[in-house]
Amino acid sequence: MKIGFIGLGVMGAPMAGHLHRVFGLVGIHTRTRSKADPLLSQGVAWFETPQALAQQCDVVCTMLGFPPDVHAVYFGPEGILAGAHSGLCCIDFTTTRPQLAKDIASQLTTCGGFFFDAPVSGGDVGARQATLSIMVGGSKTQFPIIQSLLEAVGQKVVYQGHAGAGQHTKMTNQIVIAGTMIGVCEALLYGVRAGLDLETMLSSIRPGAAGCWTLENLAPRILKQDFEPGFYIEHFVKDMEIALNEASRLGICLPGLALVHQFYRAAQNIGLGKKGTQALYRVLESLASPT
Amino acid sequence: MKIGFIGLGVMGAPMAGHLHRVFGLVGIHTRTRSKADPLLSQGVAWFETPQALAQQCDVVCTMLGFPPDVHAVYFGPEGILAGAHSGLCCIDFTTTRPQLAKDIASQLTTCGGFFFDAPVSGGDVGARQATLSIMVGGSKTQFPIIQSLLEAVGQKVVYQGHAGAGQHTKMTNQIVIAGTMIGVCEALLYGVRAGLDLETMLSSIRPGAAGCWTLENLAPRILKQDFEPGFYIEHFVKDMEIALNEASRLGICLPGLALVHQFYRAAQNIGLGKKGTQALYRVLESLASPT
């Protein structure tokens, strides 16, 4: 199985590394060529375009940033689809629009290939440790072909349904996180202003009904005023915008998500777009009276 | 140590039962006398008023509904304070206003007694199994006197600080829950409308960054359309109102909590006040287009 990988960012680089270690990569492509150096030095070939890479591969994996990046890499003049051939399998790990996943799937099917949307959760740590949760949409009959490949980068690989279902599942993940994030940030601000000892407070509330990953993993960073990513605010904003657009299309209201999205937009407005999602705390803090 | 208990509702009855089993109760009082029958049949004495009970006790515990109930039981003409004496210790398990806790503490100190606010988390199940988390505010030097008593009803007993600190800690707990609750309800609604298999979706998102008690414990009930309490919406609304009032006083904005509070008020408006907090799902569902 000749595998290629496109997109060697914070997530893509370690994921490509795992695939190379387990299966051997045929070739790579990424926007900033210098990011490819570690894999090139291990003998992986560089390809100038997604099209050229697709022509030489059985499987092409992509891990990009925003939906327009995904669109360009697949549909662009030198994109993957321009190099598509019968039997080509593409897997997109990017969190992107469910409809875009469906469009790629449909186009690739026309070329005799097949496509899986396979967004991940678990962040840079999960990517480095190959412990990602991977939510897969696409053909059920063809899923077994790529399962072992996905298991080289993820710990929990679950087939979720037809094309786009991986993206939809990722959206539900992000919607829950929007809620836990504002709840935790507001609770910490309340605790600070009420004069509580925050560590002692956390020891009471963490084991009970308020317990959540965010309280466990991000509250301690907030207490240390550590707002580094983790997961970038600008990527979270993108995800929330996809979810809100989908919600409109699906005929549902998500008022909590809409509110949290606005406060994260505010975070971007005040220059926090490259900070971690826990920096929502700083937005709420900026709305409080002087102490 | 002669212990009395006032308030034998869903939470109070099992808590009083544990205290009677471990230490023996001297007397009880509650609004609806029939609720006292099980303990009266075990030889516990009935007292017509909180005042009369306080006169005969070293320790009086209260577990009531709303802040006005707490106010009446302590400050009323036949209330606990009317029967206060030197050395009387009162413990209020009700979730109520931090300022009310401070007022009781100050009044009881004047009478030579002392007071602890000790709101709990863990619900009716925690009360029955004596596994509650108890967040304690009051005198640090006197806390050891009541610790073993609290450990008869709770699994995690943590001293949080001066009078009111127990209530403030409980507020941080409720603020987090407001966030997790709207996040989980919106995610489930999204998943339903996107056509996902919800059990499969949950298997992908539960182990990761979206993981929370609400997703673990209440999402399965929502999927079964089980909206029974658990924790009453009308009590949660009360708690959120206390937190929002405190937030104003503390000079902070809690936009997430304010939004969730409004949707729970809407839940009350459409007759869901006696349902469990997971019935927020039904409010969001009622705002969606017909399927």
**With an 8 Å Cβ cutoff, is A257 touching chain B?**
yes
Spell out where A74-199 has E strands: 89-92, 114-117, 120-121, 132-137, 154-161
Q: Tell me the pLDDT of chain A (291 aa) as tens digits.
A: 999 999 999 999 999 999 999 999 999 999 999 999 999 999 999 999 999 999 999 999 999 999 999 999 999 999 999 999 999 999 999 999 999 999 999 999 999 999 999 999 998 889 999 999 999 999 999 999 999 999 999 999 999 999 999 999 999 999 999 999 999 999 999 999 999 999 999 999 999 999 999 999 999 999 999 999 989 999 999 999 999 999 999 999 999 999 999 999 999 999 999 999 999 999 999 999 998
**With an 8 Å Cβ cutoff, is B207 touching chain A?**
yes
Q: State the DSSP H helix or E strand holding residue A48, giving kind and residue range, or none if neither.
A: none
Residue A124: predicted pLDDT: 87
Using the beta-carbon criterion (under 8 Å), do A195 and B263 form an inter-chain contact? Answer: no
Least CB–CB distance from A186: residue in B210, B251, B256: B256
For chain B, which residues make up each domain, given as ranges?
Answer: 3-162, 169-287
Residue A169: predicted pLDDT: 98
Burial of A118 (0-12, 13-18, 19+ CB in 10 A): buried
Least CB–CB distance from B208: residue in A133, A183, A208: A133
C-alpha–C-alpha distance, residues B263 and B276, integer Å = 14
Residue type, position B228, single letter: E
C-alpha–C-alpha distance, residues A154 and A156, integer Å = 6
Q: Report ipTM for this prediction.
A: 0.96
CATH class of A3-162: alpha beta
Looking at the annotation, which residues of B are catalytic?
A: 170
Length of chain B: 291
Name the B residues in 137-196 with CB < 8 Å from any A CB. Answer: 156, 158-161, 165, 168-169, 171-184, 186-191, 193-196
- Cβ atoms of A23 and A53 within 8 Å: the answer is no
Placement of tokens 């993820």 in the chain: A154
**With an 8 Å Cβ cutoff, is A284 touching chain B?**
yes
Please name the residue of chain B whose CA is at the shortest distance from the CA of residue A132.
B208
Residue-wise pLDDT tens digits, A184-194: 999 999 999 99
Using the beta-carbon criterion (under 8 Å), do A121 and B194 form an inter-chain contact? Answer: no
**With an 8 Å Cβ cutoff, is B125 touching chain A?**
no
Name, in order, each residue with C-beta under 8 angstroms of A141's C-beta and a sequence gap of 6 or more: none
First to last CA, chain A: 62
What is the SS3 assignment for chain B? CCEEEECCCCCHHHHHHHHHHHHCEEEEECCCHHHHHHHHCCCCEECCCHHHHHHCCCEEEECCCCHHHHHHHHHCCCCHHHHCCCCCEEEECCCCCHHHHHHHHHHHHHCCCEEEECCEECHHHHHHHCCEEEEEECCCCCHHHHHHHHHCCEEEEEEEECCCHHHHHHHHHHHHHHHHHHHHHHHHHHHHHCCCCHHHHHHHHCCCCCCEHHHHHCHHHHHCCCCCCCCEHHHHHHHHHHHHHHHHHHCCCCHHHHHHHHHHHHHHHCCCCCCEHHHHHHHHHHCCCCC
Between 3.40.190.10, 3.50.50.60, 1.10.1040.10, 3.30.710.10, what CATH number should domain B169-287 receive? 1.10.1040.10
List the structure tokens of A150. 């996905």
| Three-class secondary structure of residue A71 per DSSP | helix
